[in-house]
Amino acid sequence: MLALLRTRRWLGFTALVIGAIVAFGLLSAWQWSRAEQHRQERLALQSAAESEATPIAAVDLGQGVATADEWRPVVLDGTYLPGAEVVVRKRPLNAQNGFWVMSALETQDGRVVWVNRGWMPAGADALATPPVPAPPAGDVEVTGYLRAFEDADADRNDGLPAGQIAAPATALLPNVGAIDQAYVQLTSSVPAQESLIPLPLPDVDEGRNISYAVQWLLFAGVAMAGWFFFLQREAREDAMADSPADATPDALADAKEQ
Its pTM stands at 0.71
Q: What's the confidence (pLDDT) of residue 11?
A: 81
The pLDDT tens digits of the residues spanning 97-144 come to 999 999 999 999 889 999 999 999 987 776 777 888 899 999 999 999
Mean pLDDT of the chain: 84
For residue 105, count CB atoms less than 10 angstroms from its CB and return exposed for 0-12, middle for 13-18, buried for 19 or more. Answer: buried
The pLDDT tens digits of the residues spanning 18-55 come to 999 999 999 999 999 999 988 887 887 787 777 788 88
Closest by CA to 185, choosing from 169, 198, 195, is 198
| Dihedral pair phi/psi, residue 102, rounded to 5° | -110, 125
DSSP assignment string, 89-155: SS--BTTB-EEEEEEEEEETTS-EEEEEEEEEE--S-TTSPPPPPPPPPSSEEEEEEEEPPPP--GG
Closest by CA to 246, choosing from 256, 234, 236, is 236
Average pLDDT over residues 180-203: 90
User: Would you say residue 6 has pLDDT above 60?
Assistant: yes
User: Would you say residue 63 has pLDDT above 80?
Assistant: no
Q: Where are the alpha helices (DSSP H) in the chain?
A: 2-5, 8-49, 207-242, 249-257
Between CA 130 and CA 91 the distance in angstroms is 14
- Pick from 61-70, 133-142, 148-157, 159-168: least confident: 61-70
How does strand 183-190 pair with strand 112-121? parallel
Mean pLDDT is highest, among 123-132, 176-185, 223-232, for: 176-185
* Residue 148: how many other CB atoms lie within 10 Å: 17
Q: What's the confidence (pLDDT) of residue 47?
A: 79
Apex 205 CA angle, 202 and 209, nearest 5: 135
